Amino acid sequence: MELKEELKRKAGEKAVKYIKDGMVVGLGTGSTVKYTILKLGELVKDGLDIIGIPTSIATEKLAKEMGIKLGSINDYQVIDLTIDGADEVDRNLNLIKGGGGALLREKMIAHASKYEIIVVDESKVKSVLGDFPLPIEIVKFGYKRTMNVLSTLGCKPLLRVKNGEAYITDNGNYIVDCKFERIDEPAKLERRIDEIPGVVEVGLFVGLANKVIVGKKDKIEIMTS
């Protein structure tokens, strides 16, 4: 296994130690939290009894394959613990998410969660957010205008494309990846973007993460808010 993958595995697997019998657990999306879900599947086979709330269709599929019992956010409106990945993390535990396109459901589930743990490899930890283009979910209607409005905030918006076609989220919307030079005030930027008509949700997560588990070459670092 290449080093980066190994660091993702370390962080992802470590997170299962916070999952206790009887919990309702939000299941994030991506290649790091995949390791959490695989490990959780083993624990479920050994008798751990939890309900998983998936943040995407891809995670729902994987969790089902692993034999994890699933529920929906409508039935479980308070979630005990969510484990998810991130594209960037700063030292205040602000996050950029949405590289995998699941940011809307991820944010709804983070908001419903009593505790949110983020699992990343060390390359994701930054002093200032913004290297990673900020994913923003927008409705299809008037998307070119919405992109132009976003550009007035100082970013270069690019419509996300997959296999030669506009990428469509699980909710039927587009994603625009917005490259800022740096994001010095994530809370302020999050509010400004959310105010734009046509924006469904932005991949800035401020004040939602309680703990970040960082897989490093020599150890695992735990950052806590």
Catalytic-role residue among 13, 60, 106, 201: 106
Instruction: Kindly state whether residue 98 participates in binding ligand 5RP, applying the rule CB under 6 A.
Output: yes
Q: Is 52 annotated as a binding residue?
A: no
Q: How many residues bind ligand 5RP (CB under 6 A)?
A: 17
In which residue are the tokens 């206790």 written? 20
What is the rounded radius of gyration, in angstroms, for the C-alpha atoms of the chain? Answer: 17
Instruction: Kindly state whether residue 66 participates in binding ligand 5RP, applying the rule CB under 6 A.
Output: no
Look at strands 199-202 and 174-179 and give their pairing.
unpaired
Instruction: Kindly state whether residue 101 participates in binding ligand 5RP, applying the rule CB under 6 A.
Output: yes
Answer for which of 60, 88, 106, 190 binds ligand 5RP (CB under 6 A) is 106
Taking the alpha carbons of 195, 109, 56, 225 in that order, is the dihedral positive or negative? positive
Instruction: Kindly state whether residue 126 participates in binding ligand 5RP, applying the rule CB under 6 A.
Output: no
**d(Cα 83, Cα 103) in Å, to the nearest integer?**
14
Active site residue 185: no
Q: Is 100 annotated as a binding residue?
A: yes
Q: Is 194 annotated as a binding residue?
A: no
DSSP state of 129: B
Q: Is 29 annotated as a binding residue?
A: yes
> Cβ of residue 102: shortest distance to ligand 5RP, in angstroms?
4
The piece of 30-38, 41-49, 148-156, 194-202 that touches ligand 5RP (CB under 6 A) is 30-38
Q: Is 130 annotated as a binding residue?
A: no
Instruction: Kindly state whether residue 102 participates in binding ligand 5RP, applying the rule CB under 6 A.
Output: yes
* Cα–Cα nearest to 16, from 1, 4, 45: 45
**Residue 183 has which token pair?**
């994001």
Cβ atoms of residues 15 and 34 within 8 Å:
no
**d(Cα 78, Cα 88) in Å, to the nearest integer?**
26
**d(Cα 169, Cα 89) in Å, to the nearest integer?**
23
Catalytically active residues, by annotation = 106
Residues belonging to the binding site for substrate are 29-32, 84-87, 97-100, 124
In the complex, the residues that contact ligand 5RP under the rule CB under 6 A are 28-32, 84-87, 97-103, 106
